[in-house]
A and B are shown apart, each in its own frame.
Chain A
Amino acid sequence: MNLWKRLMCTARRKSPWLFHMNSGSCNGCDIEIIAALSPRYDAEQLGVLLQGSPRHADILVVTGPVTNKAVNAVKTVYDQVCGPKAVVAIGSCPATTNVFIDSRTLDGPLDKHLPVDVYVPGCPPRPDAIIAGVVKAAVLLAERGSDAPKPAIVIAGTAAEEVQP
C-alpha cells in the first residue's frame, strides 16, 4: 500500500461526517443521536461532524422502521451521499422494524433497501453505543475504496462486542 492510500485510510477513519435520516422514527433515537453530538459526549473529538447536506456526508445514520412514505426518500438520500459511504442503522426499528412488525404502513426493515454496515440495537440505544457504531463504520470506510459497498454486519455497543476478538 503506497503512502497516499495509507494517508487516505487514516483520513477516512479520523473524519466521519454524518447525515442523519429519519425514516419514520418515533424521535427517541434522534434525540439520542443529538445527545451523542452534544457537549457531554462530544463526538467531535473523534472528528465526527453532523452535516446538513447528504453531499458532504460519509456515513448515513438512519433511524426508524422505514415507512411506506419514507422508502423513496431513503433511497434518494442514499444515492446523494458520495462514495465511499457507509450506513449505520440506529435503534431496533431499522434492524427489525421492532414493535411495528407486520404493520401495513411499513416497508422495512432498512436492509431491504440499503446495504446496512453497522447495526446499533436498542430502543433507543445509548449515545455511547451510537458513537461506537459510528466509529466502527468509519473503520469500515477506511478499509473500503470508492467501489461499491460490501455489506458487512457489525453490531456495536452490545455484550456481543466483548465476546468478539
Chain B
Amino acid sequence: MNPMLTALARLLIFPGLLFAVPAAWFFLWVERKAVALMQERVGPPFMQPFWDFVKLLGKSTPPRPGIAGFIMRAWPLIAVGSAAGAVGLLPVLPASGGFEGDLILLLALLELPSICIIAAGFSSRSIFGEIGSAREAALSVSYNIVFLLAIVSIAASQRTFRLEALAAMHPTFLTVLGIVAILICLPAKLHINPFSLPNAEQEIYSGPMTEYAGPELAMWELAHGLEWVAATGLVATLIAPHIALAWGTSLLAGFIFVVLSVAVVLLLSVLAAATARLAIDSSVRFYWQCTLIFAVLAISSALFVRFWL
C-alpha cells in the first residue's frame, strides 16, 4: 500500500483520531468511575466525558485581544495535535509502517502537551496558572529523566529506535524493569494522584487551566484524554510482544491493544483513588532519590548487554 495512505489512515482512523477520541472519553470515564467505585459511589454515567466536551464547546469565552490572546488560544490546539500524532505513531497493527527513529518522535510528541501546559499557565497571566506551571515544570524535569532512561534502556537492549521492532521484541528482565519504570512515571505524566500537583484543585484552583473557558477548556480535556490513550497505548504495545505476529489477524491485535490499555488505565485510576496528593518537594525527591537509581541501573545494564554480550 502507498506509505502516505497508510500514514494518513494511522493518523486519522486507527489508532488515530477516529479511534482515539472515543477512547479518550472512555478512558476519562473509566478513571472517574474507578475513583467513584473506590469511594462507594455510583459515579458519572457512561457518556459523561462526551457531554462535558459538547457542553464546553457551546460555552462562550472571554474576549482575548491581541497576540497574547492568540497564543493563549493556540496552546490547547498544539497539545491536541501532538497527542493525536503520538497516538497515530503507536505500532498496533502488524506491518503498519513506521521508520527508524520513530520512537524518538513519539517521545517528543508525548512531551509536547506538558510543555504546552507550562506555556499556557504562564501566558494566561493568572497567579494560579503560574504556580501550576512552575510545579509542572519541576515535576517534568523529575519524571522525564526516569521515563527517558527507561525507554532508552529498552531501546538499547533491543538495538533499535524503531517502534515496530520494539513492539515485536521478546520480553526480557530488562524490558520488564523498563516497563515498571514507565508505569511509575505515568501518574506524573498524566497529572493524577499522587502527582496531581500542577492542577491541584483544592490548592491552586485549576492550575494552568484556571483562565481557560469553553471550547479552549474542551480542547485541554481532549488533549488530556489523548495523552491517556497515547501513554497507556505505549505501555500496552511494550507489554504484549507479537500481539499481531503470534495471532496473525489485525482485528485481534487491535482488540488485545484496547484490553491492555484499559487494564493500565484501571491500574492507574485505582492508584489515584487510593493515594493523596504529595507535596512538590516529596514528588521531586521521590523521582530523584528513589527511582533514578533503578533507571541508572537499567540503562547501565542495557549498555552492558549491548556492548559486551
Q: Residues on A close to B: CB < 8 A?
A: 7-8, 10-12, 14-15, 17, 39, 42, 44-45, 47, 51-53, 55-56, 58, 80, 82-84, 146
B217 CB to closest chain A CB (Å) equals 6
For B128, the chain A residues whose CB sits under 8 A away are 53
Q: Please state if B41 and A45 are interface contacts (CB–CB under 8 Å).
A: yes
Q: Give B235 Cβ to nearest chain A Cβ, in Å.
A: 28
Q: Which of B27-82 contact A (CB under 8 A)?
A: 32, 36, 39-45, 47-48, 50-52, 54-55, 57-62
Q: Knowing A55-B210, A146-B58, say if A47 contacts B36 (CB, 8 Å).
A: no
Cβ A52 vs Cβ B201 within 8 A = yes
B130 CB to nearest A CB, Å: 14
Does A8 contact B58, Cβ atoms closer than 8 Å? Answer: yes
Question: Does the CB pair B206–A53 fall under 8 Å?
Answer: yes
B209 in contact (CB, < 8 A): yes
Closest CB in chain A relative to B162 CB, distance in Å: 42
Size range of the chain B interface in the assembly: 35 or more
B55 touches A15 (CB 8 A): yes
Decide if the interface of chain B is mainly helix, strand, loop or mixed. loop
Instruction: Write out the residue numbers on chain B whose beta carbons fall within 8 Å of the beta carbon of A10.
Output: 51
- 29 residue pairs of the A-B complex, CB under 8 angstroms, read A8-B58, A12-B55, A14-B45, A14-B55, A17-B52, A39-B41, A44-B41, A44-B43, A45-B42, A47-B45, A47-B48, A52-B202, A52-B204, A52-B205, A52-B206, A52-B210, A53-B209, A53-B211, A55-B210, A55-B217, A56-B206, A58-B55, A58-B59, A82-B59, A82-B214, A84-B58, A84-B59, A84-B60, A146-B58
Q: Which residues of B contact A45 (CB under 8 A)?
A: 41-45
Whether B54 contacts A55 by the Cβ 8 Å rule is: no
B-side residues, CB < 8 A to A, are 32, 36, 39-45, 47-48, 50-52, 54-55, 57-62, 128, 201-202, 204-206, 209-214, 217
Chain B residues contacting A53 (CB-CB under 8 Å) are 128, 205-206, 209-211
Chain A residues closer than 8 Å to B50, beta-carbon distance: 11
